[in-house]
Chain A
Amino acid sequence: QVQLQESGPGLVKPSQTLSLTCTVSGGSISSGSYYWSWIRQPAGKGLEWIGRIYTSGSTNYNPSLKSRVTISVDTSKNQFSLKLSSVTAADTAVYYCARDIRFGSSGYSTEDYWGQGTLVTVSS
């Protein structure tokens, strides 16, 4: 069974860049027709989809964050990463990585397996 684990600094200063990595185990990140996603959740609030990447490098981003977000993939390490630049306190949240799976032949897909999440606090 696939497992995902987020890692990275838990504290980032305002205006700096938040960097997180998701390590995938239990299978190759390149196998199957999976995308790999990032989602975040401020404390006590709802979920916000950040974006996703395919192992070819193809990405989809949330327009509300697109100017600040970069998602990349390193297939040799079975990892994918998130960078969010110019962070403010509003970016404080638990960040989740997840596998994006296509169900059936519709071409549409969504997240099935999620990592446990990692809290990132933006503060000086």
Chain B
Amino acid sequence: AIWMTQSPSLLSASTGDRVTISCRMSQGISSYLAWYQQKPGKAPELLIYAASTLQSGVPSRFSGSGSGTDFTLTISCLQSEDFATYYCQQYYSFPRTFGQGTKVEIK
């Protein structure tokens, strides 16, 4: 299985901040990486696929970059509704695996 290291596990930030979350793979996955946002008691929602393609309806303040083994999710101007937990997921090979999650909390 492909393992990922997602960092940080906890990120304290203020509204308006620019935040970045990292995801590093144990082996190369080309660009087959997705980012999900999960709020308490809710199902994950797809934000980005193919490392950098925004899912329909997702605000443009979200962006993704990277290929191979190193990937980044950036929120350019944090809004109140963005406080949540974020997961990366590789879909290059089975089993699909997820990062450990990054909780973005209010500073």
- Chain A interfacial positions (CB closer than 8 Å to B): 46-49, 60-64, 96, 98, 103-104, 106, 108-112, 114-117
Contacts and interface: CB of A to CB of B under 8 A. Distances in A.
Given A46-B87, A104-B50, 6 more contacts: A63-B1, A106-B32, A110-B34, A112-B49, A114-B45, A117-B43
Interface of B: 1, 32, 34, 42-46, 49-50, 53, 55, 87, 89, 91-92, 94-101
Q: Is the interface of B mostly helix, strand, loop or mixed?
A: loop
16 contacts: A46-B100, A47-B44, A47-B98, A49-B95, A62-B94, A103-B49, A103-B50, A108-B32, A108-B92, A110-B32, A110-B46, A110-B89, A111-B46, A114-B44, A115-B43, A116-B42
Given A46-B101, A103-B50, A104-B50, A110 B96 contact: yes
Contacts, number: 56
A96 B32 CA distance: 22
Nearest to A112: B46
A108 B89 CA distance: 13
A110 B91 contact: yes
A61 B1 CA distance: 12
Which 10 pairs of residues, A with B, have the shortest CB-CB distance? A114-B43, A62-B95, A110-B91, A49-B96, A47-B98, A112-B46, A110-B34, A108-B32, A60-B94, A46-B100
Contacts of A98: 43
Contact of B91 (A61, A62, A108, A114): A108
A63 B95 contact: yes
